[in-house]
Amino acid sequence: MLIKSAEFVMSNSDVAKCPKGTLPEYAFIGRSNVGKSSLINMLTNRKSLAKTSGRPGKTQLINHFLINKNWHLVDLPGYGYARVSKSSKKTFQKFITQYFSFRQQLVTAFVLVDIRHTPQPIDLEFMQWLGENGIPFSIIFTKADKLKPNAINNHIEAYKNILLETWEEMPNHFITSSSKNTGKEEVLHYIDNLNTNINSSSN
């Protein structure tokens, strides 16, 4: 898929105010500072479509971007650590779960995980929640340029072993690096295929 246009549509914290219509949506979410904004900018060929920040917890709203005028990329707040008050942090978690529970346009979620770290309980808990609620998702391992190929394979294998303790099979996953453009074609191709299937089944 070639991305010809990427436009910001809206930001809000109320799922009911998200764009109407039937365009398919793909939601990107992960712990704060996992490299989500950099990944979104890489996928869309834009330097600052999503705001990157050295300060974790910068995305605090549901952000919709219209891609190629035929699907929405949704940038969701990071879960877990964020330098915000407890009350607003609770709000994030509430509207994140509301988004996934009520947004019928959602096709699949992409859960971003820093490949350098051992599996984090909060990531595993979030994937478990998605699974229990029947929400399709893929894992996107970020920052692959920080590890050598053997280390990448070892980390993926370790992740797989932990997930297979509770999952029947390893979820669909991608290995990416925003600085090296690694994984870009694979992720976009996956989205493109899903969009094609949606279009063919609705005709």
**pTM of this prediction?**
0.90
First to last CA, the chain: 21
The reported pLDDT for the residue numbered 88 is: 54
How many distinct structural domains can be found in the chain? 1
- Residues 6 or more apart in contact with residue 140 via CB below 8 angstroms: 28, 30, 39, 110, 111, 112, 113, 173, 174, 176, 183, 187
Q: Using the structure block, give the residue that is written with the tokens 């996928």.
A: 43
Structure tokens at 58: 């910068």
Q: Is residue 201, in this structure, part of any structural domain at all?
A: no
Q: Is residue 65, in this structure, part of any structural domain at all?
A: yes
Report whether pLDDT(91) > 70.
no
CATH number where 132 lies: 3.40.50.300
The reported pLDDT for the residue numbered 83 is: 54
Domain that holds residue 151: 6-12+23-109+118-196
Higher pLDDT, 50 or 58: 50
Report whether pLDDT(153) > 80.
yes
